[in-house]
Amino acid sequence: MMLRAEIELTRGAFELTVDFEVPAGTVLAILGPNGSGKSSLLGSLSGLLRPRRARIFFGDKELHDLPPHARSIGLLSQDPLLFPHLSVVDNVAFAPRSKGAGRAGSREVARRWLAEVDAMEFADRKPAQLSGGQAQRVAVARALAGEPDLLLLDEPMAALDVDAAPAIRGLLRRVLGANKDRATVLVTHDPLDALALADHVLVLSGGQVVERGPTREVLAAPRTAFTARIAGLNLIAGTAVEDGLRTEDGRLIAGLRTADATLGEPAVAVFAPSSVAVYPVEDGRPGSPRNIIATSVAALEPHGPVIRLRTDAGLAADLTPAAVADLRLEPGIAVRLDIKATTVTVYPAAASPSPTTTLNGDASRHG
């Protein structure tokens, strides 16, 4: 099963032209600046907007001519949008009920989903008696209780405070991975949410697709200036451990784990090129084993006011032009990279493996 969409939409002077596929069981993240067309894309999928031309299929089922309620879509936005006069359990029961299930059956389904999102204890409360994070938990249950073919997530963490966001992200990781029959589209401003939740990303700019591919590859080696600005991050894949991340070849990258990066689970160490210090290695000093990586210079590229140094380890560092001159850096020179552990965040990685930066290889993209 697969969601396939080709959409052409006109809104005033704005034109959206996009096509993509989302295999069932996977998540596609849509990234893009304000006004790039992310909401227009979701509105076209859900049927709330009428594109000039749309071909949208889930498997053999044609969705583009169906009204919104007949498209089997679950929607989770940044506002939980719970009905204030209904109890939590009846809010969740609303989804199966509107699909024709009976009252008792719908409540049973609702209780099952509330248990799934650890919200059973709120079942009899009214939405006004919930915190933002609790309400969003309930909204996740409601979006899934209708067993939609297609789940649309519209900035689901954007309105949550920093303590609540990792819990909801962790919950989404769990429930998104569990269903292999559903396709999910996630709209987000935050490349790290894409990293944690999405198998593939599509980057929109001005209504056009400017970049697409497996999440880690696009974020680690962006091909467009826009993606480089929002991402352009150093990413090292491995497994979350107490002190940070352990790579496949056994190296420890010391860093700070986010609350939802579970020990022993796939993770990615993320840090900006600006937090990498570069030293020549000609002194042959062994260096501390922590976050010191021996490699050589692959390329030097101007990047706004700084020079971005790319290395054969697939990692980037930003330096001032003066530092590049002082260190006599040029392609082929051996260097040591020193990454301060407090600038490294260890993030959960989307479950399905994709080729990514390793410390030995480069970050080249496939396809």
Q: Which of 25, 32, 222, 255 binds ligand ATP (CB under 6 A)?
A: 32
Q: Tokens 């600005």 sit at which residue?
A: 229
Q: For 175, phi and psi rounded to 5 degrees?
A: -75, -30
Stretch that binds ligand ATP, among 34-42, 127-135, 162-170, 307-315 (CB under 6 A): 34-42
Q: Give the separation between CA 26 and CA 183, rounded to whole angstroms.
A: 6
Q: Which of 2, 19, 35, 98 binds ligand ATP (CB under 6 A)?
A: 35
Q: Does 38 bind ligand ATP (CB under 6 A)?
A: yes
Contacts of 134 (CB under 8 A, 6+ apart): 119, 122
Q: Which of 1, 6, 8, 11 binds ligand ATP (CB under 6 A)?
A: 11
# residues near ligand ATP by CB under 6 A: 11
- In the complex, the smallest distance separating the C-beta of residue 42 from ligand ATP, rounded to whole angstroms, is 8
Q: What is the footprint of ligand ATP within residues 308-337 (CB under 6 A)?
A: none
Q: Give the separation between CA 168 and CA 93, rounded to whole angstroms.
A: 21
Q: Tokens 């101007």 sit at which residue?
A: 302
CB 47 within 8 A of CB 71: yes
Q: Does 39 bind ligand ATP (CB under 6 A)?
A: yes
- In the complex, the smallest distance separating the C-beta of residue 45 from ligand ATP, rounded to whole angstroms, is 12
Q: Does 191 bind ligand ATP (CB under 6 A)?
A: no
**Which three-class secondary structure state does DSSP give residue 242?**
coil
Q: In the complex with ligand ATP, which residue's Cβ is closer, 14 or 83?
A: 14
CA distances from 9 to 15, 45, 50, 187 (A): 6, 11, 7, 18
Q: Does 14 bind ligand ATP (CB under 6 A)?
A: yes
Q: Does 166 bind ligand ATP (CB under 6 A)?
A: no
- In the complex, the smallest distance separating the C-beta of residue 187 from ligand ATP, rounded to whole angstroms, is 7
- In the complex, the smallest distance separating the C-beta of residue 40 from ligand ATP, rounded to whole angstroms, is 3
Q: Does 50 bind ligand ATP (CB under 6 A)?
A: no
CA-nearest of 306, 231, 312 to 274 is 306
Q: Give the separation between CA 39 and CA 49, rounded to whole angstroms.
A: 10
Q: Which residues pair with 214 in a beta bridge?
A: 200
Q: Which residues bind ligand ATP (CB under 6 A)?
A: 11-12, 14, 32, 34-40
